[in-house]
Structure 1
Amino acid sequence: MRHDAQGTRSDHNGAGDRALPRLRSHPLLGNLAGDAAASLVVFLVAVPLSMGIAVASGAPLVAGIIAAIAGGIVVASFGGSAVQVSGPAAGLTIIVADLVHTYGWGVTCLITVLAGCVQVALGTFRIARAALAISPAVIHGMLAGVGATIAIAQAHVVLGGSPHSSTLANLIGIPGQLADSHTAAVAVGAVTIGIMLLWPRLPDLGVLRLNRVPAALVAVTAATAIAAAGQWQVERVSLPDSLAQAWSGPALPSADQVHGVAIGVAAVAMVASVESLLCAIAMDRLHDGRRVRLDRELAGQGAGNIVSGAFGGLPVAGVVVRGTANVRAGARTPLACVLHGVWILVFVALFAPFVELIPMAALAGLLVFIGLKMVNLSHVDNLRRHHEASVYLTTLGGVVVLGLLEGVLVGFGLALLVSLRRLTRLTVLTEAANGRWHVVVQGSLTFLGVPRVTQALRTVPVGAHVDLDLNVDFMDHAAFESIHAWRVDHERTGGQVDIDEVHENWYERSSAQAAPNAKTPPRSPARWWAPWGMRPSYDREAPASGLLLAGANEYHASTARRMRSLLTRLAHRQNPKALFITCADSRVVPNVITASGPGDLFTLRNIGNLVPRRDQEGTDDSVGAAIEYAVDVLEVPSIVVCGHSHCGAMKALLDGAHQAPDDEHLRQLRSWLRHGRASLARTGGAAPDESAGPDTMRTLAQYNVVRQLENLLTYPAVRHRYDAGSLELTGMYFDLETARMSVLDEARGEFVAVAAEPVPGQRAAGDPEQRHRSPT
């Protein structure tokens, strides 16, 4: 159960809720055995991938090997990440292929060297973080477009043909390629793709864990063995007799090529830098040791590109697949990455004849699989929550249809437009009750939103008492002057204006600098939803009792007066709209995530939002009592079970805490968690070291919601009213990282995002009709 207390640390590191390997205590040789073992695993992954990327780039095959050696030895020696593995990257394939086709291989090597110099300069001047300003939607869309382009082009090689010069021509030509006569190359490619698909899905056989062997190595080895045994006539890998003979060195461009070479240098440097830095940050999520030093990592990547280009290798960048394999195999220091480069050098020098048995179609099949994997549709779901899926899809389509740089520019332009639209997004809501007007302004309040705010404020009658809530994250001077002028004018005619600022006190600061001429000063920001530690007026070092008293004082000063009339009506009877069952987790606040107030929710909270079956031995009477009271006495029309991400109870279930030996330490907690065994069974009950990543945690938390809804029906009162149609059961899920709610769609069998639309009862400014949404 100790792991539950570490949930905050795990969330901070971004690696989900599973235990992370610790790196702090390892000097360079402090994990020699683990690093050596990991280096062998990464070596086995890197060799076929490096050659495949060289093929897709139109470069000499040995260029991929040289880049893998430089990325392993040089980047790891000078870079700032403890576990990142660098080498030839698929994201650079289209750029390199175009450069080779336009300028030749020698000039491309020079471009790689110059791009490395640019990276070293960027790292030296400590501006690595500027590369992270590019929207992740553009980056993921670019990589997906590159993956689609690679897969479409290499599909022709798998089918026994040759790719065309453009992606559209390759796409159009695939049906004809399928209709042509098939050769042995088709069988080799099919075997490679089939093994890549099936190998990771092999069951765990205990000691014999075949799926731990890299799928790429197995696929290429098997395809090579089958082709050799059948004596198939297929094109095979061709290597020079020695690496010394392979060196072709950078070549100078002609005078008319200088401009294009400069653009190529900028493109390689930008893409390689952004991909490497994003990969390094992703690797940090897999451990809790020293964080990556981005500027040093960028300089190390530049040094690797200088060496790789000078020796006739491809550009290098951080690679997620190899870095992930490195950490999972036990790497803890940069020594693992250095050794993997040494193994590649030794292997090619001593075992080149074995490499030359590999069919080219096997490498093409490997590239088809890798390219399709780069089109990760899960990114679309994640980006859709932030309304950036259009940027991802536009960038993807632009890269495929127009080319890499053109597609990235189109995607970047759309990302800027989306950002500008968000900066101008503003919601103005007005409501009149008991002679008082309530106006809520939400969003970014700039001069573009002034007409809309002014129109809403003009609907307020002369002399009315107005509560103006400024829930804005920014206010410019034009907006301030507009609101302040209206306020002064309204108070001059006998009205009263109370201004609350929920976020930053933009209005208060501006009015303090100007001559306010207002009767009532603006009040301090309420910040009712923010934790104590984020409020500047609170002493973070104060004891909990002091913070509670400070909160009560703020409530009395800013909220109690408004709530008094409401609570007077509710004092003698409650009529909640729902029984809301959720976790006791302090980060989940039911009234905040449902925008509800006093009297709306009858709330039941416990660890893991569990509802023990009524017929289950050891049922908790407090849960049953709350259900019976809500259903039979209060006659709530709805019951909601709400789970959440990063749940400590779900983490404890995956850790097997409910199966721990009985003793006095956390005995009651272990007993309570046994009510979640049925939910755990739906995930297979796998051990955390094998599967308890963020996806498994989310799946278990959502399965748990469904299970508790089923358990509710074991209570006679719930079953009776549910069957009669007077009670509805709803499942919800709250994602802490995105602060988004999802609702269970029973027809689709999955949780879908709740749309951000005006709720019933709210009125948009200037709109006489109410806008409705389906109830949550």
Structure 2
Amino acid sequence: MVRHDLPASLVVFLVAVPLSLGIAVTSGAPLVAGLVAAVVGGLVAGPLGGSVVQVSGPAAGLALVVAELVRTYGWRATCMITLAAGALQLVLGAMKVARTALAVSPAVVHGMLAGVGVVIALAQLHVVLGGKPQRSAVENLLELPNQLVNNHSHAVAVGVLTIGLLVLWPRLPRVNAVPAPLAALAAASLAAGLLGWDVARADLTEGFAAWVTPEVPRGDWHGIAGAVLLVALLAGVESLLCSVAADRMHDGPRADLDRELTGQGVANIVSGGLGGLPVAGVIVRTTANVRAGARSRWSTTLHGLWVLLFAAGLSWTVTLIPMEALAALLVFIGARMVNLGTMRGLHGHGELPVYVLTMGAVVLVGLAEGVLIGLGLAALLALRRLTRVSVHVRLEPDDRWHVVVTGSLTFVGVPVLSENLRAIPARAAVDLELNVDFMDNAAFEALHGWRLEHERAGGTVSIDEMHAEWYTSAARGTRVSAAKTPPQAPERWWLPRAYRRGGPLSRLPVRHAGVWVPPEGGESGAVPDLVAGAADFERRTAPLVRPFLTRMARTQDPSHLFITCADSRVVPNLITASGPGDLFTVRNVGNFVPRHGAALGDDSVVAAIEYATNALNIRTITVCGHSGCGAMAAVLSAGVKTEGLPGLDRWLRHGDHTLARYIGATPSDAGEGPLDHLCRVNVAQQLDNLRTYPEVAARELSGRLELVGLYFDIASARVHILDEEGFSPVGAGSH
């Protein structure tokens, strides 16, 4: 671990020092308070926290809260509020409520951080331009044109140089080992010193001698309690979200969120007691830690030690840094907090309005008010989604009306439902499909009343419920569970089409090339079954599978390569109870695997094996044969059954090794015929053929890959697995 964590800790230290100083400046706190928080974040939150790679310290997202507390209560009282907030976090962590914090909409959190970033950038931009920040973000924005026109001092040169290096440094080759903030501040300090620029300097000459002890805040206790709660929740939520994000960056142990919240609580108690800023998990430092190769808590712990040594022995170097350079660093950080990638992700989920409104409210109204406004909009949108209902009515070619109701059927959707149902003529035959996950009493009353009225007028209503029977249970007067039920798959989806004639699929008309085509058994020109099946999938199954297919749309991560025969009776997902994304499947006549380097090789199968092992890193390769295989019958016929089929005849030569193995094998005593015996032998041979591939053999030898042989007996619908003693039924003896 040392060879990874030691250099990573140095990288994080170089990033943390300038950021901690800059956040202290914008918080209105002493510069040493930022270093105290960085030390505590490393030495306390590091070993006690729940994430092995997360780096804690002063966070820009809390800067506005701290600045307001300093203005209202003073710095020493703010330290006491930080200490009390840590105690509250410690209690919440002990109560195991960390997961609850993740229920806060990320759109609100990201919008809050973006709003804080805008406020920080606007305020510090005035310092960069040689002026002073105004009292609010709006005033800063209104005053900005005057600052741009009238101020052209040395401060502007320092700010422009700092921001320019922050932007360009990551794009310069071979310099990424030095963090951009450190390089920018060093260059600005050097330029200001050599050129004799008239700039303000940071003052840390007293080092840790500037420590202050916390004192009890004076004022309305309601406001003080609210401040404690605000700091605890904002720091806690930011830390937990950072932990979740950190888990996506590394392959080590997953974060324990309750432990993380407890560790943050202890760190804030210590930081507040020592006169430091509030501590939280910081995504910038955490990202730098992971990218530098950190493997354990030692990295973040050591970074705290380096900050402590720096403050104790080298704090005088801070006096060389122009304050305008620190302000420029904060402008850059604030602008980066408005993350376009986050906005694109939220837009895809329809949550961009929450982000934008929260950000705008934080900028224009205030932090606490902006968060509350964002939470309110998020709650309204969630309520709207939860109560959203869609009603589709169409007339089928057989003069039946088809009504599909989808979503949560509550009193909110009753007007839409009633309006659509009133459009159906009296005495009409209606097929009503309820694809709803909840139905309240108001919706039931409206639907049931319409049904009774429609049937009294001479019409018919047939109701089909795809989820739990909300309507049926209510009509019987039985209790309906208030909990949502999982969706049910379309009825008898696994049956062959010949067994589904007359069911809902066969009645489904399809609009093809602008013309309604009647169902099978109707007028001439019936649509092929597959087209009708695709329409049935769109109508019934797609809404059920769309949520997780959307999540896996950009990438696949199967764990199995499944090689089986092209026979139409073998359905891999059916016999293995697998779903989308589980199996990487290769199908060919006879489930052959050409031997590595064979003269009659097949690039298609070879390509699939190479891609599955090297790109997808699959963990199992399964070869599945089946009874009554036509390819094996052709192999037994010695070419008689492939006359006139030259391509098939060449392909079946891959079965020569199978045939030779069959001839030399002991006759089967399982009561099976020669054909089925050959089918089983073929599975074992194809597994041996797989082992001729060096990558497959190496992975199997190292335990990273398992080869499995299956045999599907079609007549009995039984799956058999190959072991050292032969094939035996899967699950034999357990029912």
Q: Quick one: which amino acid aligns to residue 196 of structure 2?
A: Q
Helix, strand or coil at the partner of 2:250: coil
Deviations for 1:96-130, whole angstroms, at most 9, x for unmatched residues?
00111111100000000011111111111111122
Once the two structures are overlaid, the 10-residue window that deviates more, 400-409 or 563-572, is 563-572
Report what 2:634 is aligned to.
none
Report the CA distance shift for 1:96/1:487 in structure 2 as closer, same or farther (over 3 A).
same
Look up the match of 1:412.
375
Q: 2:433 aligns with which of 466, 469, 472?
A: 469
1:44 and 2:23 equivalent? no
- Per the alignment, residue 231 of structure 1 pairs with 196
Match of 1:139 among 98, 109, 118: 109
CA contact (8 A) 1:73 1:342 kept: yes
1:62-461 correspondence to structure 2 within 5 Å:
62-203=32-173, 209-243=174-208, 245-254=209-218, 256-433=219-396, 434-461=398-425
Q: Given the alignment, which residue of 534, 544, 559 partners 2:504?
A: 559
SS at match of 1:356: helix
* Aligned sequence identity (%): 51
Residue identity in the other structure for 2:19: L
CA shift, 1:240, in A, is 4.2
Partner residue in 2 for 1:636? none
Provide the secondary structure at the position in 1 that maps to 2:213.
Answer: coil
TM-superposed CA distance for 1:159, in Å, is: 0.9
Question: C-alpha offsets along residues 579-626 of structure 1, whole Å, 9 cap, x if unaligned?
Answer: xxxxxxxxxx998679999xxxxxxxxxx99xxxxxxxxxxxxxxxxx
CA contact (8 A) 1:446 1:474 kept: yes
Q: TM-score, normalised by structure 2?
A: 0.68
**Letter of the 1:566 counterpart:** P
* 3-state SS of paired residue (1:133): coil
The residue matched to 1:210 in structure 2 has which SS? coil
| TM-score normalised by L of structure 1 | 0.65
CA distance in 1, matches of 2:500, 2:127: 70
Instruction: Indicate the residue corresponding to 2:694 in structure 1.
Output: none
The CA distance in 2 between the partners of 1:668 and 1:152, in whole Å, is: 59
For residue 57 of structure 2, give the secondary structure of its aligned residue in structure 1.
Answer: strand
The answer to whether the 8 A contact 2:121-2:331 is kept is yes
Shift of 1:576: 13
SS of residue paired to 1:428:
strand
Instruction: Describe the SS at the equivalent of 2:189.
Output: helix
Give the partner amino acid of 2:277.
Answer: L
Could you say which residue in structure 2 is the equivalent of 1:483? 447
Unaligned runs of 5+ in 2: 481-485, 510-517, 543-552, 555-579, 585-595, 617-735
Q: Is the 8 A contact 2:128 2:156 kept in 1?
A: yes
**Separation in structure 2 between the aligned mates of residue 382 and residue 555 of structure 1, nearest angstrom:** 42
Distance 2:479 2:278 in 1: 61
The CA deviation at 1:317 is 0.8
Cα distance in 1, alignment partners of residues 581 and 110 from structure 2: 25
Tell me the residue number matched to 2:653.
Answer: none
For 2:711, the equivalent position in structure 1 comes to: none
Amino acid of the structure 2 residue aligned with 1:330: G
1:527 and 2:471 aligned: no
Output the amino acid matched with 2:137.
Answer: T
User: Are the equivalent residues in 1 in contact too, given 2:86–2:265 (CA < 8 A)?
Assistant: yes
CA distance in 1, matches of 2:429, 2:19: 70
1:470 positional shift: 1.5
Q: Give the alignment's Cα RMSD to 1 decimal.
A: 3.6
Opposite residue 471 of structure 2, the aligned amino acid is: Y
Query: Deviations for 1:648-689, whole angstroms, at most 9, x for unmatched residues?
Result: 99xxxxxxxxxxxx96899536769999xxxxxxxxxxx99x
Distance 1:646 1:139, change over 3 A: farther
Contact 1:500 1:526 in 2 (8 A): no
Shift of 1:550: 5.7
Change (3 A) 1:265 1:494: same
Tell me which amino acid in the other structure corresponds to 2:142: I
1:655-734 to structure 2, matched below 5 A, reads 668=604
How far is the alpha carbon of 1:490 from its aligned partner? 3.9
Query: In structure 1, what is the equivalent of residue 591 of structure 2?
Result: none
How many angstroms apart in 1 are the aligned matches of 2:43 and 2:470?
A: 53
C-alpha separation in 2, matches of 1:117 and 1:525: 44
Question: Aligned partners of 2:136, 2:220: CA distance in 1, in Å?
Answer: 22
Cross-structure match for 2:28: 58
What per-residue deviation string (whole Å, max 9, x for no partner) do you get for residues 148-183 of structure 1?
000000001111121112111111111111222422
Q: Which amino acid aligns with 1:401?
A: L
Note if contact 1:112-1:315 (Cα within 8 Å) is conserved in structure 2: yes
Provide the secondary structure at the position in 1 that maps to 2:163.
Answer: helix
Cα distance between partner residues in 1 of 2:96 and 2:473: 34
The DSSP-based 3-state class of the residue aligned with 2:395 is: strand
The CA deviation at 1:336 is: 1.1
Contact kept, 8 Å, 2:505 with 2:536, in 1: the verdict is no
How big is each residue's C-alpha offset from its partner over 1:34-90, in whole Å with a ceiling of 9 and x where there is no partner? 111211111111111010000010100010000011111111221111111111001
Q: Which amino acid aligns with 1:559?
A: P
Whole-Å separation in 1 of the counterparts to 2:241 and 2:338: 17
Write out per-residue CA displacement over residues 501-522 of structure 1, whole angstroms, 9 at most, x where no aligned residue: 3445433444455499xxxxxx
Mapped partners of 1:475, 1:75: distance in 2: 48
- Distance change in 2, residues 1:225/1:118 (3 Å): same
Note the C-alpha offset of 1:473.
2.9
Question: Equivalents in 2 of 1:570, 1:358: separation in Å?
Answer: 86
CA distance in 2, matches of 1:670, 1:234: 68
**Secondary structure of 2:424 counterpart:** coil
Cα offset, 1:467, TM superposition: 1.1
Structure 1: how far apart are the matches of 2:281 and 2:56?
4
* One-letter amino acid matched to 1:560: L
Aligned to 2:460: 496
Q: For residues 470-509 of structure 1, give each alpha carbon's deviation from its aligned partner in whole angstroms, at most 9, with x where no partner exists.
A: 2223211221233234334544555433323344543344
Secondary structure of 2:176's counterpart equals: helix
- For residues 78 and 198 of structure 1, what CA distance do their matches in structure 2 show? 37
Distance 1:570 1:105, change over 3 A: farther
CA spacing shift, 1:56–1:158, aligned 2, 3 Å = same
In structure 2, C-alpha distance between the alignment counterparts of 1:416 and 1:270, rounded to whole Å: 18
Provide the aligned length of Structure 1 versus Structure 2: 549
Contact 1:195 1:218 in 2 (8 A): yes
SS in 2 for 1:499: strand
In 1: Cα distance, 2:49 partner to 2:610 partner: 47
- Bigger RCO of structures 1 and 2 (CA < 8 A, at least 6 apart): 1
In structure 2, C-alpha distance between the alignment counterparts of 1:566 and 1:349, rounded to whole Å: 84
Change in CA separation of 1:417 and 1:360 when aligned onto 2, cut-off 3 Å: same
Q: Is the CA contact 2:405–2:435 (under 8 Å) kept in the aligned structure 1?
A: yes
